[in-house]
Amino acid sequence: MVITQKIEHFNSPLYLESGRILESYDVAYETYGELNSDKSNIIVVFHALTGSQHAAGRYDGDVKTGWWDPLIGDGKVIDTNKFFIICANILGGCNGTTGPMSINPSTKEPYRLKFPVITISDMLRAQQNLFARLGFTTAHAVIGGSLGAMQALCCSIEYPDFAKRIICLAGTYATSPWAISFNKIAMDGIINDPQFEKGQYEKDAFKEDGLLGLALGRMAGHISFLSPYSMRHKFDRNYVDTDGLYELFGRFQTERYLEYNSYSFSKRFDPLSYLYIIKAMNIFDAARNYESLKDSFSSIKAKMYLIAFKGDLLFLPDEMEFMRDTLYELGRKDMTEYICVESDYGHDAFLVEYEKFDFYIKKALE
């Protein structure tokens, strides 16, 4: 599999939905496979909240593969022998694309809390500018899960001629109060941590020890990504072997899991980026600038593939079903496929239980 890693710099201004402007910006991206002569084999992959442009493969010296490596590669479901895949880091991220810790060209200092609030539409606009620079204006398909599904849905509405197929996994048409509430825990944990220093921390301040407030917020996130069933299956009531049951701070396996994943995450992800991205998620509503969701969906031309997961407690299957029913009302029944995958894993099933849905993606791409 041929992998490339690049960063494109844009000197032309990016006009944001808020009315603010980024005078210049960078977009980091990776590609997999080779572009064919007529550029008809392009698949755009949008990453989720804490993902990055590194969707597949393994860097030299790195033990961890890309976040969707089981699906992307030679001979895999998203086959790099057939397709040219591109995945860009979102605006506001911390993996090479311009975000709050990037240098403001006007002040020569990091933006920090002076970075503008961004939306899913802003993220998509920056990526569309990238695609245009790379010389393609259409794609065989776009695909994304969770926040990536928000981007895919937004693409179908705002750029209706861009893709022939839109594949949304574990998505929604608008972030619910339930999901916003989990994000609130993370937001308050970060901004009330004294080490956050009101955003004035040094760039690599948390590389070794992490930020406690971000770790605690991420714990809440991890709970929302799983389900009572998957947690029972993974951990049951098992206790950590080295901890005493009658030690006050002795831990159940589920507690150790939350500690390990959340504290390690807080060492590698920028807390300001996390704040800006969850704000963009909270704002997301596909009908916000329209009369109704039906009005919003009326511009869609692509065939829509909506893949929900039965055990998803963050973005409920009901929300995907409402999207399906709205498309049906618009007379797009033949251009809409809805699947609810039998899964008790929870929201993160689209990152884990590949064998339960990969054939739906393969069918959609064919």
User: Ramachandran region of residue 74, left (φ > 0), alpha (ψ -120 to 50) or beta?
Assistant: beta
* 176 given a catalytic annotation: no
User: Ramachandran region of residue 176, left (φ > 0), alpha (ψ -120 to 50) or beta?
Assistant: beta
Angle between helix axes 120-134 and 271-283 (nearest 10 degrees) is 100
Neighbours of 142 (CB within 10 A): 28
From CA 26, how far away is CA 114, in angstroms rounded? 17
> 132-137 long-range CB contacts below 8 Å, 24 or more apart?
133/8, 133/10, 134/8, 134/86, 135/39, 136/39, 136/42, 137/161, 137/162
C-alpha 199, offset from chain centre: 23
Mapped to the 3 state alphabet, what secondary structure does 115-170 carry? CCCCCHHHHHHHHHHHHHHHCCCCECEEEEECHHHHHHHHHHHHCCCCECEEEEEC
What type of residue sits at position 125? R
Of 52, 146, 266, 296, the active-site residue reads 146
Q: Which residues contact 235 (CB under 8 A, 6 or more apart)?
A: 252, 253, 254, 257
Of 79, 122, 193, 312, the active-site residue reads 312
Of 102, 121, 347, 348, the active-site residue reads 347
Indicate the DSSP class of residue 14.
E
* 146 given a catalytic annotation: yes
From CA 90, how far away is CA 47, in angstroms rounded? 8
From CA 142, how far away is CA 140, in angstroms rounded? 7
From CA 164, how far away is CA 280, in angstroms rounded? 26
From CA 341, how far away is CA 170, in angstroms rounded? 10
| Spatial CA neighbour of 73 closest among 36, 32, 103, 110 | 32
* 233 given a catalytic annotation: no
| Spatial CA neighbour of 137 closest among 167, 166, 168, 160 | 160
Active-site residue list = 146, 312, 347
